């Protein structure tokens, strides 16, 4: 499965998302797209075109972000299922309930990986 993972820049995404995901079995079982890795590799790419080709979007929604909201809108308009993940005790936006198929709360990096490992069954 090809999975795009969106997030806010407010999140310490390298330590809390990218490293744990890349070091996990989940990474070996799926084609994972992490946007800031792409930014480093290519100067000119269009996130919208990437999301259009994905089977699933996972959105880390612990922090609100305009860019993430735009990506969520694109995924929704393309019919790409969206799963929202968020750190325990985060205040998530109520409007996400309109477009997200599943919400997953996690406590730390290990719990995150454990829970997203079962995501392909949610699609």
The domain locations on the chain are 2-118
Cβ neighbors of 75 (< 8 A, separation 6 or more) are 4, 6, 51, 54, 57, 82, 99
Q: Average pLDDT of the chain? A: 90
pLDDT at 28 over 70: yes
What would the mean pLDDT of 18-23 be, rounded to a whole number?
Answer: 96
pLDDT in tens, 63-77: 999 999 999 999 999
Residue 33: pLDDT band (50, 70, 90) is very high
**Contact between 55 and 79 (Cβ < 8 Å):** no
Rg (CA), the chain: 13
Separation CA 75–CA 99 (nearest Å): 9
pLDDT of residue 116: 92
pLDDT at 44 over 90: no
Cβ neighbors of 1 (< 8 A, separation 6 or more) are 30, 31, 55, 56, 120, 123
**Contact between 3 and 17 (Cβ < 8 Å):** no
What is the pTM for the complete model shown?
0.90
What would the mean pLDDT of 74-81 be, rounded to a whole number?
Answer: 96
| Backbone φ and ψ of 7, nearest 5° | -165, 165
Q: Which of 121, 6, 3, 1 is nearest to 72 (CA)?
A: 6
pLDDT at 122 over 60: no
The CATH class given to the 2-118 domain equals alpha beta
Residue 46: pLDDT band (50, 70, 90) is confident
């Amino acid at each position: 499965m090809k999975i795009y993972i969106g997030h806010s820049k407010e999140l310490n995404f390298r330590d809390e998302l990218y490293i744990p995901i890349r070091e996990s079995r989940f990474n070996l079982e799926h084609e994972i797209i992490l946007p800031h890795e792409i930014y480093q590799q290519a100067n000119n790419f269009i996130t919208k075109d990437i999301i259009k080709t994905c089977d699933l979007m996972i959105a880390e929604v612990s922090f609100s972000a305009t860019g993430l909201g735009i990506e969520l809108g694109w995924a929704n308009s393309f019919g790409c299922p969206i799963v929202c993940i968020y750190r325990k005790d985060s205040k998530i936006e109520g409007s996400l309930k309109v477009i997200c198929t599943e919400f997953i709360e996690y406590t730390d990096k290990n719990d995150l990986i454990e829970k997203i490992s079962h995501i392909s069954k949610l699609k």
